[in-house]
Amino acid sequence: AAVSYYHQKGIPVEAVKLYLMTIANSNFEGWWDQNPTLGIDDFKFDFKKMSVSGSLFDLEKLLNISKSYISRLKASEVYEKALTWAKEFDTEFATILEKYKDYSISILNIEREQKKPRKDFESFSSIKSNIWYMYDELFDKYFENYDFGKITDKEEIKNIINTYIDEYYDENDDKDTWFNKIKELSEKLGYAGNMKEYKENPDAFKGNVADVSTVIRVALTSSSMTPDLYELLRLMGKDRIKERFSKLN
């Protein structure tokens, strides 16, 4: 029953093995943190490091190890494993993944190939709930509501997103240029483009650049908690961005 639970939840077999090794040898977890490119077979088991008291099963610990394991895979590997899982347990998501293979791999690669990769996915079953908003079919079906944070006036929100897409967004901008334009947009509309200035005199501004970024992020995805906004915008492309923003106009 336990094995079928892991399978249905989409917890990688390798993650379960890693978890069991942390129970078996107290120094394994520290070794694995220090050697992110190595696996269980490279670890030298030490009988002296075995626990004599046994260990209680800890699901949260297993899921944390699973997050770390999935974060170390290549995006193409995550895609293939997620697709295999979805074909068995979520045919709707499997169809979407197959239809948009390259796009999906690019989404899964956001903030992955870096020293500290993102750890959003605790299992293959959790991937859809983390990236559903990137697909129009799922956005239109599962979208519920927007929470724009500090900026609540509907006309102000429309003004921000319309001014941004009409006057500031350029698909060819690099990340620094892109962020500088968000600062310029903020200042044009009465928000502090510089957080230091805002903290020194908050009453002089409607809000700050982070508030404006949140409006753009939420208008795009409906979520204020997403991976890198620059990458999301770049992958979605201007037509899809306009379509998302039009839902608020």
CA dihedral 124, 128, 130, 134 (to 10 degrees): 140
pLDDT value, residue 51: 55
Token pair 């336990």 is at which residue?
2
- Cα angle for residues 122, 79, 75 (degrees, 5° grid): 80
Beta carbons of 157 and 163 less than 8 angstroms apart: no
Residue of 31, 231, 216, 10 whose CA lies nearest to 112? 231
Distance CA 57, CA 221 (A): 36
In this prediction, residue 20 has a pLDDT band, given cuts at 50, 70 and 90, of confident
Share of the chain above pLDDT 90, in %: 76
The pLDDT tens digits of the residues spanning 30-73 come to 777 777 776 776 666 554 555 544 555 678 889 999 999 999 99
The mean per-residue pLDDT over the stretch 67-93 comes to 97
pTM of the model: 0.86
